[in-house]
Chain A
């Protein structure tokens, strides 16, 4: 073990946390809030709620929750931000947020990870659709299971 004290180690970790906050969370959350604000003022959020209502009802969620999943698909931080924004505006309840929590990660950031993970690891591109399908299926199963606990 090095001579660093545990306090030094903690501070290093906390600094990483700060960097994650500044570079990842803050821009993503801000983007999500802006996106929701655009959807709200244009009336698209209400339309999405109506269109996706029946599908999302299977998971015990309002139709607008589809925005969380779409946001998550682009980036996990985006999904979390959309969920937080919809919670703040009382579209989602704490129960809804709890149902969505594992799903956001299970199908999260796939658009980014296609390059960063599948590309880097050298996975053959013909398996990409199966990979995407598995993640979305995982998210759906998670939401159904979370209905019983949330």
Chain B
């Protein structure tokens, strides 16, 4: 059995507004409200992110201009991403501040063992790894060095983190460049990423169990 620590599921205190914040975040980034009308659209990322103004021909002449190529075009294009990234990380910071990420950890902990074969105490490292690849990696190492997880569990956990590392932060910041072109609600590719992260980790689990029996 694992010792109770301040990160164990039983001792994580999540206020009610933590869950509310998590629910809000899911709704805000899901794109489900993009096509709605009226005040409710204030809860939608794409609506709040808004649009740039246009110059003359509203169909094609944005501030980025038309027909640009090379480094100059890339620079202007990258600038168009800044508002989306700043908005997304601003909202994530509020959700974190209100305990939304702790709520995520609490909800995730009971499913870690069946889904990944790693103990629930890795929950905080898992949630952290979704925000920062480096934080997840260093916390994983600490879990191993303190003897909380085994070499085998560490390897499976690393396989989970390695595919789409820093998932939430990278998807919401870097991925924002492609959101405007995305033909489906952005929650769908994000959900698929999560499912395949678990799938990949379980492939590693199978590999270690069947192919690499002698190893660890």
Q: With A76-B174, A113-B165, A150-B183 given, is the CB distance from A25 to B78 under 8 Å?
A: yes
> Which of A10, A33, A87, A149 meets B90, CB within 8 Å?
A10
Q: With A21-B81, A142-B192 given, is the CB distance from A10 to B94 under 8 Å?
A: yes
> Which of B74, B192, B216 meets A30, CB within 8 Å?
B74
A18, B86: Cβ atoms closer than 8 Å: yes
Determine the distance from Cα of A107 to Cα of B94 in the docked complex, in whole angstroms.
29
Determine the distance from Cα of A89 to Cα of B81 in the docked complex, in whole angstroms.
18
> Which of A4, A16, A25, A98 meets B182, CB within 8 Å?
A98
A134, B162: Cβ atoms closer than 8 Å: yes
Give the total of B residues in contact with A, Cβ under 8 Å. Answer: 69
A101, B189: Cβ atoms closer than 8 Å: yes
A33, B86: Cβ atoms closer than 8 Å: no
A11, B90: Cβ atoms closer than 8 Å: yes
> Which 4 residue pairs spanning A and B have beta carbons closest together?
A13-B93, A33-B74, A17-B86, A17-B89
Interface centre among A17, A21, A109, A137 (most CB of B within 10 A): A17
Nearest Cβ in chain A — how far from B90, in angstroms? Answer: 4
Which residue of A is nearest B92, CB measured?
A: A13
Considering the complex, which residues of chain A in the window 81-113 have a beta carbon less than 8 Å from any beta carbon of chain B?
81, 83-85, 87-89, 94-95, 97-98, 100-102, 104-110, 113
- The contact sample of 13 A-B pairs, CB cut-off 8 A, is A10-B94, A17-B88, A77-B174, A88-B77, A97-B181, A106-B196, A108-B164, A134-B203, A135-B163, A138-B164, A142-B189, A142-B192, A142-B196
Over the window 143-177 of chain B, the binary record of Cβ atoms lying under 8 Å from chain A Cβ atoms (1 yes, 0 no) is: 01000000100110111011111010111011101
Stretch at the interface among A44-52, A54-62, A117-125: A117-125
B93, A116: Cβ atoms closer than 8 Å: no
B87, A17: Cβ atoms closer than 8 Å: yes
- Cβ contacts under 8 Å, B77 to chain A: 29, 33, 84-85, 88
A21, B78: Cβ atoms closer than 8 Å: yes
> Which of B86, B91, B133, B162 meets A135, CB within 8 Å?
B162
Determine the distance from Cα of A32 to Cα of B71 in the docked complex, in whole angstroms.
9
- Cβ contacts under 8 Å, A108 to chain B: 164-165, 170
B137, A98: Cβ atoms closer than 8 Å: no
Determine the distance from Cα of A97 to Cα of B175 in the docked complex, in whole angstroms.
11
Which residue of A is nearest B17, CB measured?
A: A1
Which residue of B is nearest A15, CB measured?
A: B86
B70, A21: Cβ atoms closer than 8 Å: no
Q: With A14-B87, A17-B89 given, is the CB distance from A29 to B177 under 8 Å?
A: yes
- Cβ contacts under 8 Å, B175 to chain A: 76, 80, 101, 104-105
Determine the distance from Cα of A57 to Cα of B140 in the docked complex, in whole angstroms.
39
Over the window 119-149 of chain A, the binary record of Cβ atoms lying under 8 Å from chain B Cβ atoms (1 yes, 0 no) is: 0111110110011001101100110011001
A131, B94: Cβ atoms closer than 8 Å: no
> Which of B74, B85, B141 meets A121, CB within 8 Å?
B141
Q: With A94-B181, A113-B133, A116-B133 given, is the CB distance from A10 to B196 under 8 Å?
A: no
- Cβ contacts under 8 Å, B59 to chain A: none
A134, B200: Cβ atoms closer than 8 Å: yes
- Cβ contacts under 8 Å, B158 to chain A: 117-118, 121, 123, 131
Determine the distance from Cα of A120 to Cα of B145 in the docked complex, in whole angstroms.
12
Tell me, yes or no, whether B36 is within 8 Å of chain A by CB.
Answer: no
